[in-house]
Amino acid sequence: MRAVVIREHGDTDVLRVEERPTPEPGPNDVLVDVKAVGLNHLDTWVRRGVPGHAFPLPMIPGCDGAGVVRAAGGLVDWLQPGDRVLFAPGISCGHCRACSDGDDNLCPEYGILGETQDGACAEQVVLPARNALPIPGGLSFPEAAAFPLTFLTAWHMLVVRCGLTSRDTVLVHAAGSGVGSAAVQIAKLHHATVIATAGTEAKRAAALGLGADHALPSREGDLVKSVKELTGRRGVDIVFEHVGEATMPASLRCLARNGRVVTCGATTGPKLEADLRHLFFKNLSILGSTMGSRGELRHLLDLVGRGLLKPVVDRVLPLSEIAAAHRALADREAFGKIILVPGDSP
């Protein structure tokens, strides 16, 4: 089979399409013909490398995917060849206390496809059968590959970590990103008020189209002043953060009393400077969040299948153009997800 392989960290030229042996499924696995792969910022970190963290190179990247089951292991009796499935990106041991409690994203051995083991950027992939979930409704393969990681991340951040309610006003940074466009929809599903930021007029209009109540520029002007004006100087209850150094100081200043900022990433840098007096005088909370449980993903599958949440696909490219896709993601050209398709997949 053909697959994208990263053998060393670097620029997009390290993304090489190679011939690899077709993987063999174990007794608890499935072999899937990949039809679509969703690109995430995590893929760019795997390519570039993270100081102090060792990725198991060489590796096939790709956290999100969808396809058709080709073969199932001998102990798998709930999936059959021909079944249309999408990939739950989180991998856990399945037997520790966290997994037994349904908190598999807290498993000490937790990993993600394309980060800790070979991922979806290939013509075929083997994964644990419990990570192959039926595609809901009439979703196309690109739509199915567009939502697991980002919607699961956004749901866990807002609903589980922040306890989102209809009384909340939520500031969503970079609403044009995959996780940002998911956050806007999830907040509106809970009847919250949403203030979105985006870098272009077109992206702000698209955020409003997803349900945001207000859309502000992310690269100009005084964000704190604009948020205070929109909220009658009160501030917001929740800030949905994934940008990092460039926005975190303003995010904290945008919070109302008893507000919380929740973060899942730091695309502009990991360092945080904060005045602790501001935190305790206003009873603020800073919450970290990574992924979510498989149970949460199954709930999201139901919501997507019922049309209450919608994957946002910006463009579909051949897998051979993965370097161009990485550059488009880095240049913030997309609204929603960039999808890659192997060969002539539909």
pLDDT tens-digit series, residues 134-148: 999 889 999 999 999
Q: Which residues contact 140 (CB under 8 A, 6 or more apart)?
A: 36, 346
* 114-121: average pLDDT: 94
Tracing tokens 């272009």 back to the chain, one arrives at: 200
Q: What stretches of the chain adopt beta strand conformation (E)?
A: 2-6, 15-19, 29-38, 64-72, 84-87, 90-91, 111-112, 124-128, 132-134, 169-172, 193-198, 214-217, 236-241, 255-263, 285-288, 313-318, 337-341
For 230-240, b/e burial (b = at least 16 CB within 10 A) is bbeeebbbbbb
Amino acid at 39: L
* Neighbour tally for 312: CB within 10 Å: 25
Predicted confidence at residue 319, as pLDDT, reads: 95
Q: Which residues contact 172 (CB under 8 A, 6 or more apart)?
A: 180, 183, 184, 187, 194, 195, 196, 197, 207, 212, 240
Largest CA distance in the chain: 62
Helices 294-305 + 148-155 axis angle, to 10: 110
Cis bond before residue 108 (omega within 30° of 0) = no
Distance CA 152, CA 290 (A): 9
Q: In terms of C-beta density within 10 A (0-12 exposed, 13-18 middle, 19 or more buried), how is residue 245 classed?
A: middle
Would the pLDDT of 122 be above 50? yes
Distance CA 158, CA 300 (A): 13
> What's the gap between Cα 215 and its chain centre?
21
Predicted confidence at residue 220, as pLDDT, reads: 65
31: tokens are 């072999």
DSSP, collapsed to helix, strand or coil, labels residue 245 as: coil
Ranges of each domain in the chain = 2-146+311-341, 151-288
> What's the gap between Cα 107 and its chain centre?
19
Provide the whole-model pTM.
0.94
Helices 201-209 + 178-189 axis angle, to 10: 30
The continuous run of DSSP H or E covering 85 comes out as strand 84-87
**The CATH number of domain 151-288, selected from 3.30.379.10, 3.40.50.740, 1.10.3210.10, 3.90.180.10:** 3.90.180.10
Amino acid at 28: N
Helices 178-189 + 148-155 axis angle, to 10: 50
When pLDDT is cut at 50, 70 and 90, the band that residue 345 belongs to is very low
- Does domain 2-146+311-341 bear CATH number 3.90.180.10? yes
Among 116-130, 163-177, 211-225, the minimum mean pLDDT is found in 211-225
CB 43 within 8 A of CB 114: yes
> What's the gap between Cα 76 and its chain centre?
28
Strands 64-72 and 29-38, bridge-based pairing: antiparallel
CB 215 within 8 A of CB 208: yes
pLDDT digits 0-9 by tens, 41-60? 999 999 999 888 899 999 99
Predicted confidence at residue 66, as pLDDT, reads: 98
Q: 2-146+311-341 and 151-288 share one CATH topology?
A: yes
Mean pLDDT of the residues in the chain? 94
Predicted confidence at residue 245, as pLDDT, reads: 83
